[in-house]
Amino acid sequence: MGRLPVSETIGIFTPRGRATRGPSFFFPRSGPVPFAAMADLSISLAGVPLANPIVLAAGTAGYVRELADAFPLSEVGAVTTKSITREARDGNAPWRIIDSPAGMLNAIGLANVGLDRFLAEKLPTAAGLPCRLFGSVAGHSTDEYLAVARAFDAADAIAAVELNVSCPNTADGLQFGEHPTALRALLSEVKPVVARKPLFVKLSPNVGDIVAMAAAAIDGGAQALVVANTFSAMAIDVETRAYRLSRGRGGLSGPGIHPIVVRMVHDVYRSVARDAGVPVIALGGVSNWRDAAEFILAGATAVAMGTALFIDPRSPVRVARGLREWTDRQGVRSVAELVGQARS
Ligand SMILES: Cc1cc2nc3c(=O)[nH]c(=O)nc-3n(C[C@H](O)[C@H](O)[C@H](O)COP(=O)(O)O)c2cc1C
**CB–CB of 250/169 below 8 Å?**
yes
For residue 4, being part of any structural domain is answered with no
155 lines ligand 1 (CB under 6 A): no
Ligand 1, atom nearest to 255 Cα: 25
Find the mean pLDDT for residues 107-119: 96
136 lines ligand 1 (CB under 6 A): yes
Distance 305 CA to ligand 1 centre (A): 9
**CB–CB of 42/76 below 8 Å?**
no
Distance 107 CA to ligand 1 centre (A): 10
For residue 7, being part of any structural domain is answered with no
pLDDT of residue 12: 38
Ligand 1, atom nearest to 112 Cα: 8
What is the residue with the minimal CA distance to atom 26 of ligand 1? 306
DSSP 89: B
Confidence band, pLDDT 50/70/90 cuts, at residue 169: low
pLDDT of residue 19: 39
Considering 158, 167, 186, 309, which one is annotated as catalytic? 167
Q: How many domains does the chain have?
A: 1
pLDDT of residue 167: 65
pLDDT of residue 106: 96
User: Residue length, the chain?
Assistant: 344
What is the residue with the minimal CA distance to atom 4 of ligand 1? 59
Residue 337 burial (CB count, 10 A) = 15
Q: What is the CA radius of gyration of the chain?
A: 18
Of 21-35, 49-63, 283-297, the one with minimum mean pLDDT is: 21-35
Amino acid at 258: H
Distance 328 CA to ligand 1 centre (A): 31
Question: Residue 52 is part of which domain span?
Answer: 43-338
**What is the tally of helices (H) and strands (E) in the chain?**
9, 14
pLDDT of residue 175: 74
Whole-number Å distance between alpha carbons of 96 and 5:
10
**CB–CB of 54/305 below 8 Å?**
yes
Confidence band, pLDDT 50/70/90 cuts, at residue 86: very high
Residues 6+ positions from 83 with CB-CB distance below 8 Å: 58, 59, 110, 112, 136, 137, 138, 164, 167
pLDDT of residue 8: 33
Tell which one of 4, 27, 60 to mutate to probe ligand 1, the residue whose CB is within 8 A of the most ligand atoms. 60
Nearest one of 221, 156, 212 to 186, comparing CA atoms? 221
| Higher pLDDT, residue 28 or 183 | 183
pLDDT at residue 171 above 60?
no
pLDDT of residue 38: 83
Q: State whether residue 152 is helix, strand or coil.
A: helix
For residue 109, being part of any structural domain is answered with yes
253 lines ligand 1 (CB under 6 A): yes
250 lines ligand 1 (CB under 6 A): no
Q: State whether residue 223 is helix, strand or coil.
A: coil
Cβ burial of 179 (10 Å; 0-12, 13-18, 19+) is middle
pLDDT at residue 195 above 80?
yes
For residue 227, being part of any structural domain is answered with yes
**CB–CB of 180/213 below 8 Å?**
yes
Confidence band, pLDDT 50/70/90 cuts, at residue 64: very high
For residue 17, being part of any structural domain is answered with no
Ligand 1, atom nearest to 202 Cα: 11
The answer to whether residue 167 is catalytic is yes
Amino acid at 299: G
For residue 207, being part of any structural domain is answered with yes
DSSP line for 228-241: --PEEEE-B-TTT-
Of 27-31, 45-49, 202-206, the one with minimum mean pLDDT is: 27-31
Q: pLDDT tens digits for 211-230?
A: 999 999 999 999 999 999 99
Whole-number Å distance between alpha carbons of 65 and 74:
11
Confidence band, pLDDT 50/70/90 cuts, at residue 81: very high
For residue 16, being part of any structural domain is answered with no
- Tell me: cis bond preceding 216? Omega within 30 of 0 counts: no
DSSP 125: G
Q: State whether residue 285 is helix, strand or coil.
A: coil
Distance 215 CA to ligand 1 centre (A): 23
For residue 18, being part of any structural domain is answered with no
Task: Look up the CATH number of the domain holding residue 277.
Answer: 3.20.20.70
Whole-number Å distance between alpha carbons of 328 and 309:
26
Q: pLDDT tens digits for 281-333?
A: 999 999 999 999 999 999 999 999 999 999 999 999 999 999 999 999 999 99
What is the residue with the minimal CA distance to atom 3 of ligand 1? 59
**CB–CB of 301/278 below 8 Å?**
no
